[in-house]
Each structure stands twice: as C-alpha cells, then as structure tokens.
C-alpha cells in the first residue's frame, strides 16, 4: 500500500518555505505521493453546512487557503520522484479546456508525476461565486471528464456537447503520461461510484467508517469488473492525533497513535491501494514543525 502526505496549504503553515520543506522531507522519508485540496472561499454566512463537523461549522483550515494547483507545481519543483495529486479540485468551478492546459503543464514540468483527483463540489456559496449550476453537476461531470480525455489523447480534437464546445483544434503539448494522467474521482452515491467504474482510474474517498468502506469498495470493484476495467482506491486520511484513546464510536483517523495505526491496518486489509495523511484540520496543521513531526511519526507507524 502506497503512502502519501498533504502539503501545507492552509493557515499560518501555508508558506513557500513550509511547502518546499514538507515536499522535500516527504520524499526523503519515502512517501510516494504529495497532495493538495481545494477551498475557493470561506463564506461568512454559509448556505451549506460543512459535513465534517457535528454542527456543520466550517473548520479553521478554511480561513486561509492558497491555490492547490500552484502549490502542487511549486512542490514539484522541489522534488524529483514523488507523485503529486489533487484531492480534490471541483469540476464545476473550471472550464475543462483551460484546466486541461494547466494540468498538462504540471504533468510536463513535473516529468509525468501528476495524479488528478476531481469532485463535484458541495458549497452553494462557491457555486454562486463561480456562476456554476448545482442542478446538473453529475451529467456535466461526465462530459467534463470525456472532454479532458479527448484533449489529452487526440489531435486534432473537437467537441460539441450539451455543456461544452471545442472547435476542431490542435492542442499541444500532450501530457507525458500515456494515455493521460490518472483520473480519480470523489464520490459517495451509487451513481458517482458507477461514474468511477466506467470513466475513471480511481476513487478517492474521505471520512468513511470501515463498516461503510467494505460494501462501497465491493460495489465499485464489481461495477468496474462488469465494465472490463480495474480501478484504484486512494483514501484521504484526515488525521487528528490525541494523547488518549478515543474508543468505540470515534471518527476514523481520529484518536491515539495506536488507534490511527489500527485504521491504517484495517484499510490495508481491505485492499486499499494508497493512504495519504492530511493534518490540515488538526492543531499540527498550523505549523511547519507540526507537519514535519507527524510526517515522521505516521510513516513509521504505517510501515
């Protein structure tokens, strides 16, 4: 099972020095991937509650957040082997032609190390800010992924769809990875998992208890097999380490180091292909030293 770590993108830890040092140290320690996540705005009067807190309140990590793709490219410039991924960026906020160019540039400049994690978005305020529609985001996502793949694998390329249009064009360069950088999708519904099984290369879930992961993974693998495909699973582990055991009923990857280790082993036994740790939402995520300390602890614990 591969291991990865999130880059410091939020709060006081989000500095050029910290991004560079965390990226370099992760590669030294043997982590196989580095990841970024997306938050566009922090609405002062949110229309949509946050699903990761009991009361729906927004975490401190949302208060200050630098751009994920720029951060990823900066980290790539300070490393040479580790893969670099998004988990996730939201398709409705982007134009697929423009995004394809940016992602191709990252893949070329990183010498073929990009993993692309995409999602549908959940914040009504961010949809409003980008003039995007929440109603048809599923069908838009299908066409979005289809157009990305077409831009990356064909030349000339042309597209005349329901949501996006691209006149017959030559778009160069193409990504170094063939046929294209791996595409992972975040999804929780049956329709979303079917989209992964038929269109994507992997699934990047977060926050799912182990008793929920088993049937979802089984369903995903069965749908992919039916489609004659195979998909990977890369779990984003939002880690919050406590001094004492939290016991039964705790949130996954929340608890003592021993409990975190139990969660890692449970995912390994389930057949998860990769876990990447994210400390952004914990006290450790406020400082560069917090990132570095937990990076060293968690890779030792996981291996």
**pLDDT tens digits, one per residue of 262-291:** 999 999 999 999 999 999 999 999 999 999
Give the pLDDT band (50/70/90) at residue 54: confident
Rounded CA-CA distance 42/244 in Å is 32
For residue 88, cis peptide bond before it (omega within 30 degrees of 0): yes
Rounded CA-CA distance 78/265 in Å is 31
Rounded CA-CA distance 203/198 in Å is 12
CA Rg value for the chain:
19
Closest by alpha carbon to 83, among 113, 109, 111, 116? 113
Q: What is the largest CA-CA distance in the chain?
A: 61
Rounded CA-CA distance 20/91 in Å is 27
Place of tokens 């880059």: 7
Q: What is the pLDDT of residue 303?
A: 86
Place of tokens 């046929």: 179
Rounded CA-CA distance 35/17 in Å is 17
Structural domains of the chain sorted by starting position, each given as residue range(s) with its CATH number in brackets: 2-302 (3.20.20.30)
Q: What is the pLDDT of residue 301?
A: 94
Q: Which residue has the higher pLDDT, 51 or 290?
A: 290
**H-helix or E-strand containing 203?**
strand 202-203
Which neighbouring-strand residues pair with 275?
3, 235
Give the pLDDT band (50/70/90) at residue 18: very high
Residue 213 has pLDDT above 90, yes or no: yes
Task: Report CA-CA distances (Å) from 85 to 40, 54, 239.
Answer: 18, 28, 18
Rounded CA-CA distance 264/135 in Å is 36
**pLDDT tens digits, one per residue of 156-202:** 999 999 999 999 999 999 999 999 999 999 999 889 999 999 999 99
Rounded CA-CA distance 235/270 in Å is 11
193 three-state secondary structure: helix
Q: For the chain, how many helices (H) and strands (E)?
A: 9, 13
Strands annotated E in the chain? 2-6, 33-36, 83-86, 89-90, 114-119, 157-160, 165-169, 183-185, 202-203, 232-238, 240-241, 254-255, 274-278
Closest by alpha carbon to 76, among 35, 29, 116, 38? 35
Query: Are 75 and 146 spatial neighbours (Cβ–Cβ below 8 Å)?
Result: no
- Percent composition of the chain: helix, strand, coil (DSSP 3-state, to 5): 45, 20, 40
Residues 6 or more apart whose Cβ sits within 8 Å of residue 44:
none
Average pLDDT over residues 221-234: 95
Q: What is the pLDDT of residue 51?
A: 87
Structure-block tokens of residue 139: 């069908």
Residue 52 has pLDDT above 90, yes or no: no
């Amino acid at each position: 099972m591969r291991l990865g770590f999130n880059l410091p993108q939020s709060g006081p830890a989000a500095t050029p020095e910290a991004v560079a040092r965390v990226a370099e140290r992760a590669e030294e320690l043997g982590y196989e991937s580095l990841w970024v996540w997306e938050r566009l705005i922090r609405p002062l009067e949110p229309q949509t509650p946050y699903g990761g807190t009991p009361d729906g309140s927004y975490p401190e990590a949302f208060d200050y957040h630098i751009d994920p793709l720029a951060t990823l490219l900066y980290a790539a410039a300070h490393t040479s082997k580790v893969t670099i991924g998004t988990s996730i960026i939201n398709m409705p906020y982007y134009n697929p032609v423009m995004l394809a160019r940016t992602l191709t540039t990252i893949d070329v400049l990183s010498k073929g190390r990009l993993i692309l994690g995409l999602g549908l978005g959940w914040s009504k305020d961010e949809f409003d800010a980008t003039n995007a529609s929440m109603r048809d985001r599923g069908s838009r996502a299908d066409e979005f992924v289809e157009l990305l793949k077409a831009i990356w694998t064909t030349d000339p390329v042309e597209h005349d769809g329901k949501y996006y249009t691209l006149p017959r064009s030559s778009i160069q360069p193409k990504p170094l990875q063939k046929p294209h950088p791996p595409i992972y999708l975040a999804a929780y519904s049956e329709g979303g998992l079917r989209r992964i099984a038929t269109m994507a290369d992997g699934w990047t879930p977060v926050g799912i208890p182990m008793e929920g992961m088993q049937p979802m993974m089984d369903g995903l693998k069965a749908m992919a097999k039916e489609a004659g495909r195979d998909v990977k699973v890369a779990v984003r582990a939002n880690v919050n380490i406590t001094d004492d055991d939290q016991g039964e009923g705790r949130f996954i990857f929340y608890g003592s180091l021993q409990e975190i280790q139990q969660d890692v082993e449970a995912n390994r036994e389930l057949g998860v292909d990769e876990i990447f740790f994210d400390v952004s939402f914990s006290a450790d995520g406020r400082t560069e030293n917090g990132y570095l300390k937990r990076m060293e602890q968690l890779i030792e614990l996981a291996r």
